[in-house]
Structure 1
Amino acid sequence: MLAELVELVIGVDTHTDTHTAAVLAADTHAVLATVTVSADEDGYADLVALADAHGGLRGWAIEGTGGYGAGPARHLDQLGELIVELDRPVRPHAGPARNPTRSTPNVPPATRSPAPSWRSPRPGRNGPACRSCSPHAGPQSPRPATPNASCARW
């Protein structure tokens, strides 16, 4: 688990125009700071500045690195940050379930909400979000030895 490897976890909730981040102490789970930044290079720099202000070995947990999170994931990868991707939460459909009746089909519990899983950042439209997490990473992209120097392979 990421919290066992680092002192700080920075969780990033990604959206089209903005990203919201929270800095958490890995040992106590206390929220140390939160910020909402623009979804551009200036915003990504603000995320790094926020993390730098708290010091310590850190890891980034980013939602949707194959979509809205591809920009911050690429920016952080270029800086050698430790990155893991979080699955997007499963949201219920707004259909008949709002007002269930006898005609509403039963949904087996196993399909309601799958357990969260960790995985390496997915490639976006312009290639892998993180070079070292690419399944095609070969000898030309060696993994640095320091924990913050590359993405995590999960």
Structure 2
Amino acid sequence: MLSVNSKKNRGRPNSVDAHVGRRIRERRQWQNMTQATLGDAIGVTFQQVQKYEKGMNRVGASRLQQISKALKVQPSYFFEGTIDEIWSDGQSAANHADIPPEVIEFAASEEGIELIRAFSRVDDNNVRGRLVKLIKSLGTSGDA
């Protein structure tokens, strides 16, 4: 029999599972890897990868080890930035508290990743400064 809390949260991912899933998605996209390619590398379907990324299916320890190998990171990478880690490390909490959620969301998006990659290839600091000014001027909110 399910407890009241279990019934209330049915269908909603656990916050840690959702965080691990987001980290899998971010890393997979950063590696320019499709869900199907990751699925093939770890022996599951792309639909299963989708479920992992949404936090709907919990990633077991052995599967997480396979994913970390396929995405070329340590398994601990997927837990970085969790609420527990932020609260246990004062410096980490301060660093994360200053980053608005929309910035983190943008950085994890396809456009964000493309922009970050392109920007990081610009070596000239003057050009980088001009690019920032250009992007600010293109913004519609006017609060650049």
On whether the aligned pair clears a TM of 0.5, the verdict is: no
Structure number with higher helix proportion: 2
* TM-score, reference length from structure 1: 0.24
TM-score (norm 2): 0.25
